[in-house]
Amino acid sequence: MVGYSASPDDSPRAVADAHLAAFERLAAEGLDGEVSVKLSALGFDAALFAELDGAAARWGRPLHVDALGPETVDDTWELLARTQPPDRLGTTLPGRWPRSVDDARRATGAGLRVRIVKGQWPDATEPDVDPAEGVLRVVDRLRDSTRRVAVATHDVSLLGEALSRLTAARVPCAVELFLGLPFAGPLRLARDLGVPVRVYIAYGTGGAPYSTAALARNPAAAWWLLQDVLLGKEKTWRSIGRARLSR
């Protein structure tokens, strides 16, 4: 899963072109990849979104819509609703938002793939929702889904519970992990449950998980960097390599 992180100076046209190039490159390399887009970087432009949807169809690679703030959800659904057929599209549902349970029902009815995340931005109307509990509520709502449901978290305990519920209901599911965050625990869990793993690779101006801005926003990222650099902890790619060799 590749996602372009636009700079504030990028025009919506430039952002769309970056994603179009990603589709073309994935197809040229024969990679089983998907392209993820933040609609705010497109200015919620329906014509540009239609171009990306057309590229997804042309190159045979799925297009996924990332979650933004809760105030953008209605605009996001408006664009998703215009796209037919929706089978190559996916959307993201944050557990932090109470509305995600109803949105899960809507996604199932529309035939969309779903990625479940804890969520970065709280809903101002209910800011105290526990994101982990919210994730499980969304999981429970998707137990009748016939489309793939991806759980995107490095929280091993939450991931295990979510995957157990989905696999027990025979829902096709996957794990999604962010390149740059700890991999070993989630990888072992996914392997033990026989669930495939997809890696989210952010690139562009905001792509580095250890950027100064990212560290300022996320103290946990600073701790991971401290472990990696000062304490000699394993780097992500070493954990991946050993996990692959031990299969």
Q: How many Å apart are CA 178 and CA 209, to the nearest integer?
A: 9
End-to-end CA distance of the chain: 23
Structural domain count of the chain? 1
Helices (H), 111-217: 131-141, 156-168, 184-193, 212-217
Whether 180 is in a domain gets the answer yes
Whether 215 is in a domain gets the answer no
Whether 162 is in a domain gets the answer yes
Whether 138 is in a domain gets the answer yes
Sequence-distant (≥ 6) Cβ neighbours of residue 24 within 8 angstroms: 55, 59
Q: What's the angle, vertex CA 195, arms to CA 191 and CA 197, rounded to 5? A: 85
> What is the extent of the structural domain holding 171?
2-208
Whether 245 is in a domain gets the answer no
A 10 A CB-CB count for 6 gives 21
DSSP 66: P
Sequence-distant (≥ 6) Cβ neighbours of residue 203 within 8 angstroms: 2, 3, 4, 5
Question: What CATH number is given to the structural domain containing 96?
Answer: 3.20.20.220
Query: Is 112 within 8 Å of 91 (Cβ atoms)?
Result: yes
3-state secondary structure of 57: helix
Whether 218 is in a domain gets the answer no
Tell me the torsion sign for CA atoms 243, 199, 122, 80: negative
Tens-digit pLDDT string for the chain (247 aa):
999 999 888 999 999 999 999 999 999 999 989 999 999 999 999 999 999 999 999 999 999 999 888 899 999 999 998 887 767 899 999 999 999 999 999 999 999 999 999 998 888 888 888 999 999 999 999 999 999 999 999 999 999 999 999 999 999 999 999 988 888 999 999 999 999 999 999 998 754 544 445 545 555 555 544 444 444 444 443 443 444 334 3
Q: How many Å apart are CA 197 and CA 189, to the nearest integer?
A: 10
Whether 116 is in a domain gets the answer yes
What the block records as the tokens of 15 is 């952002």
Q: How many Å apart are CA 200 and CA 1, to the nearest integer?
A: 5
Whether 230 is in a domain gets the answer no
- Flag whether the pTM goes above 0.75: yes
